[in-house]
Amino acid sequence: MTIRDLTGNITKINTRAITIVDWDRKEIVMPNKAFITEQLVNWSLSDSITRIVLTIPATIDADSDLVIKLLQQASDECEYVLNDHPKTSYRI
């Protein structure tokens, strides 16, 4: 879930606050009021498959075709990437 600029997993729900563990394994205690008054994104409410956007830094003289080929190869070898994913778009 994401709320404000915080993304992580809810690990505890108490009467006054919720504990969230972020990707750096930090525990953040957030008051329940935030879940009522702020926008909340639940990434897996009805579908556990999500999409991510990666920014890959490369030098100005890098061969962009080679970079794309290597990234595609890495994603093809990753068990967590779907084989039937929609068309990938690239911005160079």
Per-residue pLDDT of the chain (92 residues; tens, 9 = 90+): 899 888 999 999 999 999 999 989 999 999 999 988 999 888 878 887 777 778 888 899 999 899 989 988 998 898 888 877 666 666 66
Q: Which residue type sits at 58?
A: A
- Predicted pLDDT at 17: 95
Query: Residue 8 domain-assigned?
Result: yes
**Predicted TM-score (pTM) of this structure:** 0.56
Range of the domain at 31: 2-41
Query: Residue 33 domain-assigned?
Result: yes
Query: Residue 16 domain-assigned?
Result: yes
Query: Residue 61 domain-assigned?
Result: no
Determine contact, residues 17/31, Cβ cutoff 8 Å: yes
Query: Residue 21 domain-assigned?
Result: yes
Query: Residue 88 domain-assigned?
Result: no
CATH number at residue 13: 2.30.30
Judged by DSSP in three states, 64 sits in helix
Return the closest-CA partner of residue 2 out of 42, 30, 37.
42
- Predicted pLDDT at 91: 65
